């Protein structure tokens, strides 16, 4: 269960309003079980057990039916101990790696089946759901736990749905299930942070939520204020935060799971808790602009999962948090500022806030002497147009990094696609107006690529990857991921990053 502490400003003080959580009513909770049926009619082991306990009634129900992947059939009071049984189509039993799609079909089929079945039981007000592990309990846990999540925290009690407890139906698979549970709940944490409205998820609120969730796991969390940033000469970041009355913060969660002497991985994430586009208004205002901190949410959720999984790796995150608002002190187009590494930047469009917010964080990261730096951001909406919600755009010159990232995406079902980080795009961001760089690339198109090339100029001298999650990290389209609610935030690509780091830690050793 996710508990979300929501704070509100009251006479310049933060006052705790309420802790929202889901609880089961006083009446006896309903109990249900979800079991799978392959496309040839063969039952999974869990379904076979239910069939035996029901004296063959499962097979009778299935006669003449065609349970395609994700389609469910509910049976009430079928076996003792369960109020509802959800029979769900699990697709082909022999599904495997689809090279053309770069997707592990078997794992994704399991997520879809487990998610659809768990959601069908949730819709029946079932409070305790047991889920068939199929042939991969980790994938089953991911699909089921992602599917039953819903953002009801701000509703009155009478309008909240019960968020059920989801367990593995087979005791001998619980250890594998636990890995999937940890990853799915981490992704759900990112969804909560991203879904929360901007007045309840300011930079200060974001830090409070992260401290509340990560510190009990063993992650060290520090939050640094404007004074500290001024002492560090973070002129670029502070310049973009001047339009808002909300104080900017630099959040630094650190996880030390490897040898203390080993070089860390650096994660940076864009943490714009509301993007009002500064003084450059060319788009209709959208409440989804509060999701411009999806990169920051993914970073902290990834660290949470790595810590709970005890992955042997050291990860330091640097997350700039602020609002980009059109206030009286907001930076104007044409202004020039100096980044920590001495490079001057001309701000030609205040809507290109992400790259300005991130440059000082990337420069500061060099002090850690990392072996790898990964930035996660909703950096440019053109990425949404190019790739939609199908894949996260990845920019890296490291073939090994890309290979591991691509394999992690295939395994998690949350895929990535490589895009060019060529000198062509670095040249595009060189300024012709007296500064070193401009935030608006020269020539037509290629804006996400130019943004990635811009960021690389400030990254530490080690392997670097930039993940643009503009299409994947915000609202779900409801296409191809039925275990993610349409029009709610996705929390993507948390599980891909976790799987990547699990493999990277082994390869690094």
Domains, in order of start, for the chain: 30-169 (3.40.220.10), 198-506 (3.40.630.10)
For residues 408 and 500, the answer to whether their CB atoms sit within 8 Å is: yes
State the Cα angle at 361 between 358 and 365, rounded to 5°.
Answer: 135
The burial class, CB within 10 Å (0-12 / 13-18 / 19+), for 214 is buried
The pLDDT profile of the chain, 509 residues, written as one tens digit per residue, is 344 443 333 323 333 333 333 333 456 789 999 999 999 899 999 999 999 999 999 999 999 888 999 999 999 999 999 999 999 999 999 999 999 999 999 999 999 999 999 999 999 999 999 999 999 999 999 999 999 999 988 888 888 887 899 999 999 999 999 999 999 999 999 999 999 998 899 999 999 999 999 999 999 999 999 999 999 999 988 888 887 888 999 999 999 999 999 999 999 999 998 875 544 455 555 556 677 899 999 999 999 999 999 999 999 999 999 988 776 677 778 889 899 999 999 988 766 677 888 999 999 999 999 999 999 999 888 899 999 999 999 999 999 999 999 999 999 999 999 999 999 999 999 987 789 998 887 878 888 999 999 999 999 999 999 999 999 999 998 888 999 999 999 999 999 999 999 999 987 65
For residues 126 and 106, the answer to whether their CB atoms sit within 8 Å is: no
Q: What is the pTM of this model?
A: 0.92
Round the CA-based radius of gyration of the chain to a whole number and report it: 24
Query: How far is the C-alpha of 209 from the C-alpha of 100, rounded, in Å?
Result: 40
């Amino acid at each position: 269960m996710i508990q979300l502490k929501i704070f509100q400003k009251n006479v310049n003080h933060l006052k705790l309003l309420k802790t929202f959580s889901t609880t089961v009513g006083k009446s006896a909770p309903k109990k249900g079980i979800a079991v799978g049926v392959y496309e040839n009619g063969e039952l999974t082991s869990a379904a076979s057990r239910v069939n035996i306990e029901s004296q063959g009634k499962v097979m009778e129900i299935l006669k003449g039916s065609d349970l395609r992947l994700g389609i469910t059939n509910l049976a009430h009071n079928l076996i003792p101990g369960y109020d509802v049984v959800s029979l769900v189509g699990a697709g082909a039993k022999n599904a495997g790696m689809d090279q053309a799609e770069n997707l592990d079909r078997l794992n994704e089929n399991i997520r879809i089946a487990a998610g659809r079945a768990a959601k069908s039981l949730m819709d029946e007000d079932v409070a305790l759901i047991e889920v068939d592990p199929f042939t991969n309990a980790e994938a089953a846990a991911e699909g089921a736990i992602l599917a039953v999540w819903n953002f009801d925290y701000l509703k009155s009690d009478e309008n909240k749905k019960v968020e059920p407890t989801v367990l593995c139906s087979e005791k001998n698979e619980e250890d594998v299930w636990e890995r999937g549970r940890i990853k799915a709940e981490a992704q759900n944490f990112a969804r909560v942070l991203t879904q929360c409205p901007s007045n309840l998820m300011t930079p200060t609120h974001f830090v409070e939520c992260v401290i509340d969730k990560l510190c009990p796991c063993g992650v060290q969390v520090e939050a640094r204020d404007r004074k500290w940033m001024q002492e560090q000469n973070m002129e670029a970041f502070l310049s973009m935060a001047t339009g808002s009355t909300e104080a900017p913060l630099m959040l630094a969660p650190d996880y030390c799971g490897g040898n203390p002497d080993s070089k860390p991985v650096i994660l940076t994430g864009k943490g714009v808790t509301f993007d009002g586009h500064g003084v450059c208004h060319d788009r209709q205002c959208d409440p989804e602009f509060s999701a411009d901190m999806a990169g920051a949410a993914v970073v902290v959720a990834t660290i949470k999962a790595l810590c709970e999984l005890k992955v042997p790796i050291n990860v330091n995150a640097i997350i700039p948090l602020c609002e980009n608002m059109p206030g009286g002190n907001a930076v104007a187009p044409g202004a020039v500022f100096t980044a920590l590494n001495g490079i001057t930047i001309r701000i030609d469009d205040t809507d290109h806030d992400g790259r300005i917010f991130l440059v000082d964080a990337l420069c500061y990261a060099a002090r850690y002497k990392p072996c790898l730096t990964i930035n996660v951001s909703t950096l440019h909406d053109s990425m949404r147009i190019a790739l939609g919600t199908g894949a996260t755009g990845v920019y890296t010159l490291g073939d090994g990094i890309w290979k591991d990232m691509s394999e992690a995406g295939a395994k998690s079902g949350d895929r990535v696609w490589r895009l060019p980080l060529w000198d062509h795009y670095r040249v595009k961001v060189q300024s012709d107006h007296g500064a070193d760089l401009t935030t608006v690339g020269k020539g037509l198109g290629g804006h996400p690529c130019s943004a990635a090339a811009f960021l690389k100029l400030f990254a530490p001298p080690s392997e670097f990857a930039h993940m643009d999650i503009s299409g994947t990290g915000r609202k779900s389209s409801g296409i191809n991921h039925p275990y993610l609610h349409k029009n709610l935030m996705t929390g993507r690509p948390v599980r891909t990053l976790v799987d990547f780091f699990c493999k990277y830690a082994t390869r690094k050793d």
